[in-house]
Amino acid sequence: MFALRNTARRMIPEWTPGRITLAIVVVTLVAGLLPFVKMSLIVNGVFLGAIIALGAIGLTLIYGVLNFANIAHGDYMTMGAYVALFLLTGLFPTFGIEGEGLGPLTFGYPLLIALPLAAAVVAAGAILLDVAIYRRLRRRGVNAVVLAMASLGVAIALRGLVQVIWSGETQHYPREFRQVFRLPLDVRIPPDSIFIAIVAVVLVVGVYLVLTRTKMGKAMRATADNPNLALVSGIDTQRVIRWNWAIGAGLAATAGVLLAVFQAQLLPIMGWKFLIPLFAAVILGGIGNPYGALVGAFVIGVTSEVSTQWINPSYKPAVAFAIMIVMLLMRPRGIFGDSG
Amino acid sequence: MALLEASRVVAGYGGTEILHGVSVTVDNGEIVTVIGPNGCGKSTLMKAIVGLVKVRTGSVTFRDEDISSQPPERIVRRGLCYVPQSANVFPSLSIRENLEMGAFIRDDDYEGRIAEMFELFPDLAVRPNRKAGSLSGGQRQMLAVARALMLDPVLLLLDEPSAGLSPTMMSMVLERIVDINATGVAFLLVEQNAREALRMSHRGYVLSAGENRLNDAGQALLDNPEVARLYLGG
Amino acid sequence: MEIIGIVNYLVGFAIMAAIYAVFALGLNVHWGFTGLFNIGIAGFFALGAYTSALMTTRPPDPALFEDFKFGGNWSETQFLDLGIDLWFFLGLAAAAVVCGLIALMIGYVTLRLRDDYLAVATLGIAETVRLFFLNEKWAANGSKGLYRIPAFLEGSVSPEHYDYLYLVVVLVVLAILFLAVERAVKSPWGRVLRAIREDEVAAEASGKNVFRFKLQAFIFGAVIMGVGGALFAHNIRFLSPLTFDPLLATFVIWAMLMVGGSGNNRGAILGAFVVWGIWTGTQFLPGIFSDPNFRFFMIGVLIVAVILLRPGGILGEERRITRAADS
Ligand SMILES: Nc1ncnc2c1ncn2[C@@H]1O[C@H](COP(=O)(O)OP(=O)(O)OP(=O)(O)O)[C@@H](O)[C@H]1O
Ligand SMILES: [Mg+2]
């Protein structure tokens, strides 16, 4: 987002022949296919993209500041979804906070409380994990890949924990059946999806404002740019890192809850499976660039959803992966990065 | 007691030792320049003083306090600011945001200080929302110095502030240093353009292979035939 | 349990541990010696296993499997009539080649880029391979799985003694691979790999084509994993996409290498036996310790604990010892 002005300026004068060809190919492809694509798939893809965006923005922020691939990001999503499940089915009912089917939505008002609480719990957990694990490794001055390795361990442990506590069975939030909205062109929108979109928009705008308007947000971008210069400028990089985890993991947890609503089910593996679209979006947008991650998320969401018109739907993750590989071949630094 | 006193500093990277016991002092209000051949450890000395590179043995005293084992953000708070040789601005932040980051630890209103910086470097004031990454080399260097000045430092460490600049830009940057020095800020400089730098310095040091070689008044070093032959290009 | 039952159990255990040791060796080439972060071992595991299985398994009865058409009775065709026992070797070789080719493709795209792109790409390959075998029923019978995979030298010993024979086979393959990897990493080629792992920039600066070396190491490790997959297929003799879930086909192998000592081939093998021993042994414990979910959790904790507390694993990296001996 904050890179928008910058990238826009950089992109306009640099219409190299390669880029023009690429743009023409993409535009013709999209325009040519559009009449054959079911509108409902595109709409569905946008909603999926919104969820991917929340996860991918957090992932790319962590990438930017801490400079490693947080393999556990998907499992932070899973954690968020299950913490909300605990609140909705375990804790809240003892206080009489219950109910489903709020207006046109399948879930009730308790989910509106559970969502921020789950995000806060996961954010706090992420900060604790940083103190217990990643900070020690950073102090030891290890290579970024070792940090990623440690996050793989965290990912496994978190998923194991979810299975120990909640079992590996499919679960779902308390819900009531609701009619979908029927629109022209055979588009059906579940009201839940509208809710998802609203939450996503609010959070994306919120992150944008934090990053561009607050001192801490600017310090996060500064640290991502140049950690050593941030240190000698007097920026409290430890605090930056804590905020970074809080925002990244909080967004992930929110994405997890929304995904559980979107798919109408929870599974311990849901977050791990989401890693491929998350990373695809981050890489598509250029690592460390939240604006890019946002665009990447919608590209991945819509393309993988639209692909189901021709390809077996269960190949969706493979489609996201294929887009990523094609992208890496053509523009390794992302849509907005320099090629080569 | 000198403002900054680095004595017998030993430092390096991983298994290699670069500085084998280097000593440097800077007094209040002084401009001190360090010269020496490429790779002799000038930048490493700067990094050791500000805490980016660990001081293995020896001591660094700043305003009567040992800072040799303090983290950079603590050292900055004491009034010692630093401009690295390269990558010395935040490229994706605007000019204004770069200055704000320079003032990160200030809780008071620093708008006045930003205005002063824009006065000192009018080039930066033209489009304060421009991304630092899109600035020219000279503008970048000025922004880097301005960023470091945001905290009103007592001592400023500049690592090759004129590197890669055109001759006019270079003398412009060096002039600014003299101006700022007149307000009471002390400087420790590393410079490739040794002749110009020594001319405006009170004192200078010559390093070689991680050790002190010479140490004299700026003009005296300029007049030293050995220095002239080895480091000033005849 | 009778003594013979215990022995049989231990033999079965040793076969699996030795197969896992093959994977740990492959991963050691990737991570231990070159610093390549492969989190999609399951992909190579599955490719190796399915490749060898499909080449050696009899074609299915069309009456039973309408949509399963593929599969080779190649061992009985005129094409190359060698009999199943020689086709076993062709199966191993084909598994190695297929994994090597996939590694070449993935590595070619990602190894020029940041280190962690490879991790994401291997993750993607693992998922794609799994989805392929799950959805393409014609290829390997989908989720119902591929069975009656032949065993090597099946008729030559009585069924109750067959495991002894296969243990020997697996150990011989493991020994060959161990020697091959040892030789490779002690050669000048292996020294370059470690130089790359320690400091890529310096290696590049000294004129080494870092990309080439990384690609070679990635292919080498994947080839070993392919062989491991083939050995696995002919041991279990039943494959389904569920066999290759990330836990038992990727995470456990990581735990093995980390525990044993990455960068040390003996450590990789030791780690495989230790972790597989813990994994299978704990199922006899009472209470939560035999809960597979809890063991899942512990694998993650184990990996983190090793990184934090004992980065060298049990044996540590051999290089340090030799260097100390040199000086
Ligand atoms: N981060 C680093 N890791 C390892 N070695 C380094 C690092 N930075 C510098 N060196 C090495 O330390 C030595 C001294 O470097 P330093 O940058 O201090 O020299 P310098 O005198 O500033 O040179 P220059 O005039 O080129 O700026 C050089 O040999 C350099 O290769
Ligand atoms: Mg230097």
Across residues A292-317, what is the average pLDDT?
A: 91
- A255 pLDDT band, cuts 50/70/90, is very high
**Which pLDDT does position C55 carry in this prediction?**
85
Give Cβ neighbours of residue C176 (< 8 Å, ≥ 6 apart): none
Round to whole Å and give the CA distance between B51 and B200.
27
CA distance C114 to chain A (A): 10
Q: CB-based contact (8 Å) between C214 and chain A?
A: no
Would the CB atoms of A325 and C124 count as touching at under 8 Å? Answer: yes
* pLDDT score for A119: 97
Q: Where are the alpha helices (DSSP H) in B72-208?
A: 72-77, 95-102, 111-120, 122-125, 137-149, 167-182, 194-200
> Across the interface, which of A137, A158, A325 has its CB nearest the CB of C109?
A325
C238 with C143: CB under 8 angstroms? no
pLDDT for residue A29? 81
- Token pair listed for A19: 């880029």
Q: Cα of B158 to ligand 2 centre, how many Å?
A: 10
Nearest CA to ligand 1 atom 19: B39
- Pick the residue whose CA is nearest to atom 29 on ligand 1: B39
Residue A2 has pLDDT above 70, yes or no: no
- Chain B interface, best mutation among A140, A229, A291, by max B CB count within 10 A: A229
Per-residue model confidence (pLDDT) at position A177: 82
Q: Count how many pairs of residues, chain A against chain B, have C-beta atoms within 8 Å.
A: 74
Residue C159 pLDDT:
78
Helix %, strand %, coil % for chain B, to 5? 40, 25, 35
User: pLDDT of C154-172, one tens digit each?
Assistant: 777 887 788 888 999 999 9
Q: What residues contact residue C206 under an 8 Å CB cut-off, 6+ apart? A: C195
pLDDT digits (tens, 9 = 90+) for A4-32: 333 333 334 456 677 677 778 878 887 78
- pLDDT of A107: 82
How far, CA to CA in Å, does C35 sit from each of A66, B220, C30, C267, C315?
Answer: 19, 53, 6, 16, 18
Closest Cα of chain C to A146: distance in Å?
8
Question: Across the interface, do A145 and C307 touch by the CB < 8 Å criterion?
Answer: no
Q: Which residue has the higher pLDDT, A339 or A152?
A: A152
Using CA atoms, how far apart are residues A151 and C47, in angstroms rounded to an integer?
A: 26
- Contact residues of B toward A, CB < 8 A: 50, 52, 71-73, 76-77, 81-82, 84, 87-93, 97-98, 100-102, 104-105, 131, 133-134, 147-148, 151
DSSP 8-state secondary structure symbol assigned to residue C301: H
Please report whether residue A94 resides in a domain: yes
Band (pLDDT 50/70/90 cuts) for residue A112 is very high
Q: Where are the beta strands (DSSP E) in C64-173?
A: 146-147
| Of the partner residues A154, A287, A321, the one whose CB lies closest to the CB of residue C304 | A154
SS3 assignment, position A218: helix
Query: Which residue is listed with tokens 């705008």?
Result: A205
Is A163 within a domain?
yes
Q: Which of A215, A225, A237 sits opposite B92 (nearest CB)?
A: A225
Question: Residue A255: which of A117, A64, A50 has the closest Cα?
Answer: A50
Going by C-alpha positions, the residue among C149, C150, C129, C142 that lies closest to residue C66 is C142
At residue A258, the pLDDT reads: 96
Pocket test for ligand 1, best of B42, B50, B88 (most atoms within 8 A of CB): B42
Tokens 């390669």 sit at which residue? A18
- Residue numbers in A near C247 (CB within 8 A): 156
- Domain membership of residue A60 (yes or no) is yes
Asked if the model's pLDDT at residue C146 lies above 90, the reply is no
Give the contacts of B160 (CB within 8 A, at least 6 positions apart).
B85, B190, B191, B192
Q: Is B81 helix (H, G, I), strand (E, B) or coil?
A: strand
Average the pLDDT over B77-84 and give the result: 93
| Nearest chain A residue (CA) to C112 | A332
Q: Which helix (H) or strand (E) holds C14?
A: helix C3-27
Give me the residues of C, 163-202, that contact A with CB < 8 A: none
Is a pLDDT exceeding 50 seen at residue C320?
Answer: no
Confidence category of residue C291, pLDDT binned at 50, 70, 90 = confident
A279 vs C contacts (CB less than 8 Å)? 120, 123
- Smallest CA-to-CA distance from B72 within A130, A235, A142, A140 is with A235
Residue C314: per-residue pLDDT: 84
Q: Partners for B (CB, 8 Å, 3+ pairs)?
A: A
Bridge partners (DSSP) listed for residue B206: B35, B214
What pLDDT does C326 receive? 36
Q: How confident is the model at residue B218 (pLDDT cuts 50, 70, 90)?
A: confident
Q: What is the DSSP letter of C161?
A: G
In a domain, A309, yes or no: no
Looking from the CA of B75 toward its CB, the CA atoms found within 13 Å total 28
Q: Could you give the number of structural domains in chain B?
A: 1
d(CA B54, CA B48): 6
The answer to whether residue A324 is domain-embedded is: no
- Taking residues B12-39, what's their average pLDDT? 90
Test the B interface: residue of A233, A235, A236 with most B CBs within 10 Å: A233
Q: CA of A156: how far to CAs of A78, A161, A163, B53, in Å? A: 12, 9, 11, 36
Q: What's the mean pLDDT in A263-286?
A: 92
- pLDDT, greater one: C151 or B101: B101
Judge whether residue A249 has pLDDT over 60: yes
Pocket of ligand 1 (CB under 6 A): B 13, 18, 36, 38-44, 85
* Residue A283 belongs to some domain of the structure: no
pLDDT in tens, A204-240: 999 999 999 999 999 999 999 999 999 999 999 999 9
Amino acid (one-letter) located at C126 = A
The residue in chain A having the minimum alpha-carbon distance to the alpha carbon of residue B104 is A235
Separation CA A241–CA C26 (nearest Å): 35
Q: Does residue B190 register a pLDDT over 90?
A: yes
How many angstroms separate the CA atoms of B125 and B119, rounded? 8
Q: Average pLDDT in the A261-268 region?
A: 93
C247-265 per-position pLDDT tens digit: 888 999 999 999 999 889 9
CB atoms within 10 A of CB A333: 18
Write the burial class of residue C324 (CB in 10 Å: 0-12 exposed, 13-18 middle, 19+ buried).
exposed
CA dihedral (B34, B35, B40, B43) positive or negative: positive
- Closest-lying ligand to the alpha carbon of B231? 1
Nearest-angstrom CA–CA distance, C204 and B89: 27
Q: How confident is the model at residue C275 (pLDDT cuts 50, 70, 90)?
A: very high
Partner residue opposite A232 with nearest CB, options B72, B98, B131: B72
Mean pLDDT of A290-314: 91
| pLDDT tens column, A136-182 | 999 888 888 889 999 999 999 999 999 999 988 999 998 888 788 88
- Does pLDDT of C319 surpass 60? no
- Is residue A31 in some structural domain? no
Q: Least CA distance to A159: which residue of chain C?
A: C297
What is the residue-averaged pLDDT of chain B?
89
Of A146, A155, A329, the CB nearest to C307: A146
List CB contacts (< 8 A) between C132 and chain A. 318
Neighbours of A167 (CB within 10 A): 11
- Ligand nearest to the CA of residue B42, numbered in listed order: 1
Which strands, in side-by-side order, build the sheet including B65-66?
B16-26, B4-13, B57-62, B65-66
**Would you call B89 and A229 a contact, using CB atoms and an 8 Å cutoff?**
yes
Question: Which of A39-43, B63-67, B86-90, B102-106 comes out lowest in average pLDDT?
Answer: A39-43
Q: What is the pLDDT of residue C323?
A: 40
Q: Where are the domains of chain C?
A: 14-245
Quote the pLDDT of residue A3. Answer: 38
- Closest ligand by atom to B207 CA: 1
Nearest of A74, A76, A68, A53 to residue A1 by alpha carbon: A53
Find the CATH number of the domain harbouring B63: 3.40.50.300
Give C-chain residues touching A321 at CB under 8 angstroms. Answer: 121, 124-125, 127-128
Work out how many domains chain A is built from and give that number: 1
User: β-strands B211-217, B203-208: how paired?
Assistant: antiparallel
- The residue whose CA has the least distance to atom 4 of ligand 1 is B13
Report whether C224 contacts C174 (CB < 8 A): no
Average pLDDT over residues A280-309: 91
Tell me if the pTM is above 0.80.
Answer: yes
Q: List, for residues C62-121, the tens digit of each pLDDT value.
A: 666 666 665 665 656 656 566 667 788 888 999 999 999 999 999 998 898 887 889 989
Question: Both tokens of residue C73?
Answer: 């009775």
Residue C135 with chain A: CB contacts under 8 Å: 312, 314-315
Ligand 1 centroid to Cα of residue A143, in Å, is 20
Q: pLDDT above 70 covers what percent of chain A?
A: 94
**Which ligand is nearest to the Cα of residue C202, counting in written order?**
1
State whether B133 and A230 contact (CB < 8 Å).
Answer: no
For A183-220, letters b (16+ CB in 10 Å) and e give eeeebebbbbbebbbebbeebbeebbeebeeeebbbbb
Q: Do residues C44 and C99 lie in contact, with contact meaning Cβ atoms separated by under 8 Å?
A: yes
Q: What is the pLDDT of residue A108?
A: 82
Contact criterion met (CB < 8 Å) for C39 and A152: yes
